[in-house]
Amino acid sequence: QVGVSSGLECKAALQEVTQLVEERLRSSKEELKASFGAAELKIDGDFMYFLADAAVMAFQYGIPDKLCSPILEAKKAGKDLVDTYALYVQEFFVESLGVSVKSYDRDHLKNTASGEDSADRLWWFQVCSEVAYFQVAPQNDSIRSSKIDTRYHLDL
């Protein structure tokens, strides 16, 4: 749905961001994750799910230009798309929306103890497994990383 809602140009740029991020994960994982403020996400699938959700939020909240405009401007200007996306993730997804990076950490989500952050686990399991939020990357033409597959969700 994000691919349809974003339009062809933004969709292609977001697919390029995903490809570039996956490439950088192989060469400079720690630096890359730190640039998104997500160094604590040790599992690459957790990190990629965090990034996928960040993109979805602009469309879910009806403000696609918040994401597409800076990405497309950066692409046209020959700027680093990953750096541009990292800025969007930190400023909009984390700071403006108040999303916790920790809520994407598999080890955190596996913790069954009741406590201050235990709602993350409840939300993930109720919403993701019972209300169709169990989102995997389509096999063709996806914006979402192929690391987000059925196995990723089942390993939680």
Written as six digits, the tokens of 51 are 């990034």
Tabulate helix, strand, coil % of the chain (nearest 5). 65, 0, 35
Alpha helices (H) in 89-132, listed in sequence order? 106-110, 119-123, 129-130
pLDDT at 125: 62
Reply yes or no on whether the pLDDT at 131 is more than 60.
no
The total of other beta-carbon atoms located within 10 Å of residue 47's CB is 25
Domain ranges of the chain: 1-156
Do 54 and 88 touch, CB atoms closer than 8 A? yes
Q: What's the average model confidence in pLDDT over 1-22? A: 84
Give per-residue pLDDT as tens, 59-111: 888 899 999 999 999 999 999 999 999 999 999 999 999 999 998 888 887 77
